[in-house]
Every structure is written in C-alpha cells, then in structure tokens.
Amino acid sequence: MKAIIDKLYNTQNLDREEFLNLLNNFDTNISEYLFSKSREVALKHFGNSIYTRGLIEFTNYCKNNCYYCGIRSSNKNTERYRLSIDEVLSCCKTGYELGFRTFVLQGGEDNYFSDNEIVDILKKIKSNYSDCAITLSIGEKSYESYKRYFEAGADRYLLRHETANEEHYQKLHPKSLSLSNRKQCLYNLKDIGFQVGTGFMIGSPYQTMENIVEDLMFIKEFSPEMVGMGPFIPHKDTIFSNEPAGSLELTLLLIGIVRLLLPNSLIPATTALGTIDKNGREKGILAGANVVMPNLSPVSVRKKYLLYDNKICTGEEAAECNHCLQNRMKSIGYQLVVDRGDYKYK
C-alpha cells in the first residue's frame, strides 16, 4: 500500500485498480503515511499559509430539487431570503476589514437575479474592492452568461460535479439535471478563463468506491484550480434524512489523494468537514487542504442557508469565526493570510 502512495507522490497519478485498492484497504497507518506526503506537498507550495475566502450566501431560493440538499425547491420548511445589493456590499465591507481578499458569492439557482443584476453586483464589488477576487457559485448557466460574469469581474467559479458517474448522478438529482450538462458547464467556465473549482460529496447515498475512483479520474483529467470535497450530511427535510453521513476518515484520505494528484490546487477544509468533527477543519489542513471559507452572511440569515443539518457557525458573527479560525490554524502551526490566494499557473 505504501508503494501505491509513493507512486502517487512521484507521478501525481494512479491507475483505476490502484485507486480502488487504496480506497478499499486504507487504515490509520496508511492514512498517516499519505498525510505526511500530502502535507509536505502543501507546505512546499503554500508554506504554513492558509487562504481565507469570505462566503456570502446571498439567496437560498433554488429552482432545483437535488435530493440531498436542504434548500431544494420542494422543501416548504425553508424560510426563503435574498440579500439586497447593499447587504452584499456591507458583507464585503465587513470581510475586507477582517482581511478577506476573496469573496465567494454563493446561492441557489435563483432566476430572480437576472444576468444584468449579477453583473451589477460584480461590478460594484470590483469598483469598491479592486484588490479582491470574486468567486461565483450560482450553478449551471449558459456559456454567454458565464462570459458576461467573467467580463464583469468574476475571477473564479465553483461548481461541484457531485459525482462523475452518470447512474449515480441520476440517483442524486431529478431528471432536469444531467452530468453531461454539468461537465459542459465546467468546460465552458475553463474555456472562458475562470479559475474553476469542482468537487464532490463523500458518502452520498448510493456512492460506491468505484464511483469515487471515477471522481478522482475526472478531477485529474479536468485539472481544476480548486477542489471542494466534504462529507455528505443528511438534512431532515430531504428523502435522504435517514441516510448516514459520510466518513471523516474517507474525506481526509481523499483530500490527501487530491493534494498529490494536483499539487498546487486550492483545497478547502470545508464547513461540512467541521460539522462532522469538531476539529474536522484542522484535520483537513493536516491532510493537505490549504483554504478555509468562513461565513460572511448576516447572522440573521445564517440559519436559513442550511444544506444539511447541524451546520456550524450559524450563530457567530464574521469577526468571531475569523478569530476562531485564526486560533484553530495557529493551534496546528498554520496561519491565515491576507491574500487573494489565486491559483499559481506554472
């Protein structure tokens, strides 16, 4: 097993059988060996610096009905909200003062916001905070829409592929969504010039180790600048409410593997990881992640943006989370830095 990890470290890739072998047979010792390598690679590229992204969840309206997600359109228990442009700008102001130089505008697929409106928000943020990067995460749009966002100043785009297996994709999503369109969107984003993030949930219902191998192979082939991976966590108002959450150990293993596959990629220690384990984010960093994404949304709406149950940080102000994360990173020998934290193309 260590030979497989050495190969992954030396060649930045594995074949299908080797991936499967590693996923099916890892134990604590193997994980620790992997993390010693993945951590070394992260330290080589980023030192002990952790990039922060201020997450602004600006709408929880969503036209989609993904089976796993708490803000799916058919969930009548979700109290819906939208932030005004001024509210978004005020979140950015708070974030800027705390040292954030990346804002992530995330929302459900909410047709209330026309492209003109998104462009307007982007331009206003860019004119107020010209030294900041903007990441959009608002789902599947046309090539033309993506291009307009890019031209208006969006630098990056997050769109997780969720699972690279067609059949598995259909078990997690209604018929209106397809893996092929999702992938097309990702290729369009890359073509336009965005730094692109994709990723998947670990332990989503029906997921097999073979599926995860496909995820890893897709990620290697697509070679995104950012990779978001977090455990699936059930939400009480979904059909998956009684499904078990994804495992901490497997999530950490995958962070380590992706760090070795794409050495200079940006990998967050996600809020979902911090939700299934109180030190999940620290463990994520020690497995090779190098980004954290504290929440900048107004506390008044935090509890309404629940993709899964028991989400952490829904009662804390931005400054509190920032302080908390600073301490958490310090406790493991890392530090939050004031930096846009762009992907470094070689």
Known binding-site positions for [4Fe-4S] cluster: 62, 66, 69
Residue 327 burial (C-beta neighbours within 10 Å; 0-12, 13-18, 19+):
exposed
Q: How far apart (Å, rounded) are the C-alpha atoms in residues 5 and 32?
A: 11
Phi, psi of 287 (to 5 degrees): -95, -5
Nearer to ligand FES, 42 or 313 (CB): 313
Report the nearest approach of ligand FES to the CB of residue 153 (Å): 28
Annotated binding site for (3R)-3-methyl-D-ornithine: 137
Q: How many CA atoms lie within 13 A of 337 on its CB side?
A: 13
Using CB under 6 A as the binding rule, whether residue 291 contacts ligand FES is answered as: no
Contact 60, 81 (CB under 8 A): yes
List the one residue from 230, 256, 280, 341 that touches ligand 5AD (CB under 6 A).
230
CA distances for 253 relative to 157, 243, 320, angstroms? 25, 21, 29
Nearer to ligand 5AD, 204 or 326 (CB): 204
Site for ligand 5AD in 54-93 (CB under 6 A): 68-69
Nearest alpha-carbon partner for 122 in 112, 140, 139, 137: 137
Using CB under 6 A as the binding rule, whether residue 5 contacts ligand FES is answered as: no
Using CB under 6 A as the binding rule, whether residue 201 contacts ligand 5AD is answered as: yes
Burial 222-240 (b: 16+ CB within 10 A, else e): bebbbbbbbbbbbbebbeb
List the one residue from 53, 141, 148, 235 that touches ligand 5AD (CB under 6 A).
235
Q: Cα angle vertex 126, ends 90, 149, to 5°?
A: 110
List the one residue from 92, 212, 245, 321 that touches ligand FES (CB under 6 A).
321
Site for ligand 5AD in 139-178 (CB under 6 A): 160, 162
List the one residue from 18, 140, 277, 316 that touches ligand FES (CB under 6 A).
316
Q: How far apart (Å, rounded) are the C-alpha atoms in residues 140 and 143?
A: 9
Q: How far apart (Å, rounded) are the C-alpha atoms in residues 133 and 155?
A: 6
Using CB under 6 A as the binding rule, whether residue 308 contacts ligand 5AD is answered as: yes
Q: How many CA atoms lie within 13 A of 313 on its CB side?
A: 27
List the one residue from 153, 197, 284, 294 that touches ligand FES (CB under 6 A).
294
List the one residue from 177, 307, 312, 318 that touches ligand 5AD (CB under 6 A).
307
Report the nearest approach of ligand FES to the CB of residue 121 (Å): 25
List the one residue from 20, 89, 324, 332 that touches ligand FES (CB under 6 A).
324
Using CB under 6 A as the binding rule, whether residue 284 contacts ligand FES is answered as: no
Taken as a whole, the chain contains a residue count of: 346
Site of interaction with ligand FES (CB under 6 A): 294, 313, 316, 320-321, 324-325
Site of interaction with ligand 5AD (CB under 6 A): 68-69, 160, 162, 201, 230, 232-233, 235, 272, 307-308
